[in-house]
A and B are shown apart, each in its own frame.
Chain A
Amino acid sequence: GAVVSQHPSRVICKSGTSVKIECRSLDFQATTMFWYRQFPKQSLMLMATSNEGSKATYEQGVEKDKFLINHASLTLSTLTVTSAHPEDSSFYICSARAGKRQPQHFGDGTRLSIL
């Protein structure tokens, strides 16, 4: 149980393109979903926290107009990287949890490469 599906797993696109990443909890309802960015050999850096039906809470330094997050249902959250540039290239990973004291369950991540 507790499966989180993240798509796509790999994206390569030109600078200026907008990229949408989906995160779905397949067998549980996720009250909260999280979006992380991870640089090589580093820990996960929390970008934003989203609760179903409300606006996402962004961490300091994360541009909300650049990284649009939508949490339309209890099983789906999307991250859209708008007008992506090479510096946005990274590994993005989402997670979901069923309740405040529950563990986070992670998607397999998306490797984004902007040319």
Chain B
Amino acid sequence: AQTVTQSQPEMSVQEAETVTLSCTYDTSESDYYLFWYKQPPSRQMILVIRQEAYKQQNATENRFSVNFQKAAKSFSLKISDSQLGDAAMYFCALTGNQFYFGTGTSLTVIP
């Protein structure tokens, strides 16, 4: 069975600081992809970053980067230079034969 676990229901970060959101997963598939989605108060789901499981290099998108530890089945998201607009729910997701979401982490950015 595939599972995605986000153990931090809520996180906060000071503006301009760095924050890391945790995600662990379990899958029996060898070919899979991992994603982080952001859902601001508008409730639109926005793709933040993706990681192919076969790639060892960690994905990076501007201020967003991941720490992908395949053996540990860990996929954390690091947000650098946090901005007020980063405040949102963040969902970790795994896709193989199906798509699985974590329960989400609510990020607050403190001015």
Contact = CB atoms under 8 A, between A and B. Distances in A.
B104 A43 contact: yes
A85 B84 CA distance: 38
A44 B93 CA distance: 11
B47 A105 contact: yes
A93 B46 CA distance: 12
A34 B43 contact: no
Contacts of A97: 99
B106 A101 contact: no
Contacts of B35: 103
Interface string B25-45: 000000111010100001111
Given A108-B44, A109-B43, A109-B44, A103 B103 contact: no
Given A101-B31, A103-B35, A43 B101 contact: yes
Interface of B: 31-33, 35, 37, 42-47, 50, 52, 89, 91, 93, 95, 97-99, 101-104, 106
Interface of A: 34, 38, 41-44, 46, 49, 91, 93, 95, 97, 100-101, 103-106, 108-109
